[in-house]
Structure 1
Amino acid sequence: MEFVYRYSENPLNAMKEFYLYARSLMGVELNHVVLNMDGFGGQYREIVDWLRTDSTDCSVLRVKGNNKRLEELQYVLDMLKFKNGLKVFVNTIEKLPLRIPDHIEELGITYGSWITLEYIMSLNMRKLSFLDTHLTNQEINEFYKSWIELKCHQNLESFEINLTNREDFVAIGLRDIPYEMGPTIHIHAYNTEGGSFEVTRNDGLTAFICVIEYQSKFIAIMYTQLSKVA
C-alpha cells in the first residue's frame, strides 16, 4: 500500500479538491460522512455548507467534537442530509435535547447525560444506542415493559443503554418481566456476562437482553427477533 502526503497552506481547500478529484476518478458519491467539528480550525460551517451544495444525501453521518455549543451541533444536523443513520460523538456545553430527523433507522449518542426516558420514548428508530446517560434501572425496566406491551418501538431491532448500577440490573431492570436464560451472544470482541435473558413480546416476538463490559462501563443490549444478530 502506498501513501502520498501533500502539504497545503489551505488544508480545507486541498481537501475539497482531493474529494472532487477522487469522485470524478472513481465515479462514486458519498456514503458515509465523518465530520470532526474540532478539525480545520473550527471551519465546520464552511464544510457543511460546501457539502450541502456539492453532494447528494449520505447514508450515515458521524459527528465528532468536544465542548461544542448545542446550536453549533444542531446546525450540522439540520443542514446535512443523511438517510439511514446518525452517530453523535459530541460533548455539548448545554445538556439539552437534540432535534433528530424521524426518518432515519439508526441513532447512536455517546455523550447522553441529557437523555431522558421521555426523550427515548419519543423516538422511532429501529436501532438505538445511548451511552453516558443517567437513566436508572427502573426507567430501563419501564422501556422494556412498554416494548413487551406493544406500547412503543414495535419495529425495534436493537436497544443499547449504559447501566448506572450493574448490581441490581436483573432485580430491577427485569422486574416483573418473565424471561428464560438464553445463549451467550457474541458482540464484536465482547462476550455477554452470564449469558442472555430471553423475553417475549405480547405478540410472540422474542428478544435477547444481555450485559457487556466496555471500557470499564456496563452496557445492557437488547436484540429483538427483527435483528440479524438475534
Structure 2
Amino acid sequence: MRGSILMLNGLVDCKPNNDTIPLRGGIDIKRNDGLTGTIHFDWREDQMLLKMMLLYLLLFLPIVQSTVHCVRINFSRTSLKIKYLIKCFLRTSRNSQYVLQVNTNEEPKVSLRGSEQMYFELKITSDKRKNGMRKHKKCMFNEKIDTFWIHSEDVINEWMNLVKTAIEIFKFIEHIVIFHIDTFPMRNKDIVDFIKSLTPSIESCDFHGETETDEDVEYFLNNLNVTEFVGFNLKLSDHFTFPQDNFLEGFTIDPGNWLTFDKLLRLKGSEFYIHDSPITNQELNLFLLLWMTSQCHQNLGYLLININDPQSLVTIFNLPHERINPDVERIGR
C-alpha cells in the first residue's frame, strides 16, 4: 500500500493571483481564532503533489525591484580567469541587488541571479577539456542561464576564491548554500568555516548525500545561522535533532525518519514538506487538535506530511471538521 499525503492549507479571502491556487472540496477544520485549514489527500506520485511543490518554489522567490545600477570593480583584486566572465554578467544584468547560490557538487559552482531572470553560473572543474566552455540555456518562466567552466587542479580552493571574489564585488540580498556532504567529505568542515568567515548567517540551505551521518550536517547548522529555509534531502540517523530554534519560512524533510512527533512540535516554521516520517495517525490527530486550539504552530501556512496508515483516516479526523462539496471552488494560499 502506498503512503498517502496530507496537505493542510490556510484559506484566504482574496482574488486569485500568483500566490494563490483554487481549492475544491476537502475537509475544513477551524482554529479557535476563526482561521480555517483545508485538508486534502493525495498520492505521492500524483501530479498535484508536484504542482504544490512547484508553487512552494514560486512563493520563495524574492520580489526585487529592478533598478539600473553602475558597479565599479577593482579588477586588480580579482582573478584574471573570471575578469571576462564578470564583465559578461554585468552586460546582461543591470540590477543593484543579487542572489548568491553556492553549490559543493562534483563541479562546485557559484551562481548569481538578478531580477531579470538571468542566472550566471561559474563551475570549477578538474576536467581540462571543459576549461573555457560556455553553455546558454532557457528554462521555465523565461529563465536564462549562462554557464562557464574554469579548470583547476584544486577545485575547492579555486571555488573558495571565486565565492570570496563574488561577495567582495556584489551586494547580495540572499545567500543560498547547497551542501553535498559526500562530494568532498574531508573538506566539509573547511567549507563551513570558510562560509562562516564571509557571512555567519545565510537565508537558505539544502543538504544532499547518501552517507548516513549526522556529523557534517550538525557542524553546518551549529556554525551557520539559517534564517528562511532548510532542506534535508538525505537520510540522517533517528537520533538527529534540528539544533536551531529560530523561526523559518519553510522545511523540506525527505526522508523524515528522524522526525518524531516531539521533534515536529519543536520545529518553528510556516511551511513543512515531510516525507517518510514515523508519525502515526494518532499523533497527526493530536497535532491538528493542538493547532486548532492555538497550542502549536500558530504561524503554520502549509503542511504536507505522509500518512502511515491510510486505512484508518477516521483516527485523524476524530475532531470537529466539515467536508466540503467538491463542486465548490475556493481560493487557497
TM-score by length of structure 2 reads: 0.51
Partner of 1:143: 287
For 1:67 and 1:174, the matched residues in 2 are separated by 38
By how many angstroms is 1:182 displaced?
6.2
Distance 1:47 1:58, change over 3 A: same
Report what 2:213 is aligned to: 69
1:15: how far off? 0.9
Asked if residue 156 in structure 1 is aligned to residue 156 in structure 2, the reply is no
The one-character-per-residue Cα deviations of 1:93-139 (angstroms, maximum 9, x if unpaired) are x3213133121322222121122112212233222232111212221
Of structures 1 and 2, the one scoring higher in RCO (CA 8 A, sep 6+) is: 2
1:84 and 2:202 matched: no
Kindly tell me the number of residue pairs found equivalent between the two proteins: 188
Q: Conserved in 1, the CA contact under 8 Å of 2:200 and 2:224?
A: no
Please state if 1:44 is matched with 2:185.
no
Q: Is the 8 A contact 1:145 1:177 kept in 2?
A: no
Secondary structure at 1:126 match in 2: strand
Point out where structure 1 has 5 or more consecutive residues left out of the alignment.
185-194, 197-207, 209-227
Report what 1:102 is aligned to: 245
SS of 2:209's partner is strand
The aligned residue for residue 179 of structure 1 is: 322
Secondary structure at the aligned position of 1:142 is classed as helix
Q: Distance in 2 between matches of 1:86 and 1:53?
A: 20
**SS of 1:67's equivalent?**
coil
Residue of structure 1 aligned with 2:202, choices 58, 61, 74: 58
Larger Rg: 2
Partners of 1:146 and 1:65 in 2: CA distance = 34
Tell me how far apart the structure 1 counterparts of residues 324 and 251 of structure 2 sit (CA, whole Å): 28
Distance between the aligned counterparts of 2:148 and 2:265, measured in 1? 48
SS in 2 for 1:91: coil
2:106 match: none
Give the residue type in structure 1 aligned to 2:228: N
SS class of match (1:172): helix
CA RMSD for the aligned pairs?
2.6
Structure 2 unaligned regions, length at least 5:
1-135, 137-145
Moved segments of 4+, more than 6 Å = none
TM-aligned CA distance change 1:49 to 1:137, over 3 Å: same
Letter of the aligned partner of 2:205 in structure 1?
Answer: L
Query: How far apart, in 2, do the equivalents of 1:90 and 1:154 lie?
Result: 28
1:4 corresponds to 2:111: no
Q: 1:18 to 1:137 in 2, by over 3 A?
A: same
Partner of 1:201 in structure 2?
none
2:275 aligned residue: 131
Q: What secondary structure sits across from 2:255 in the alignment?
A: coil
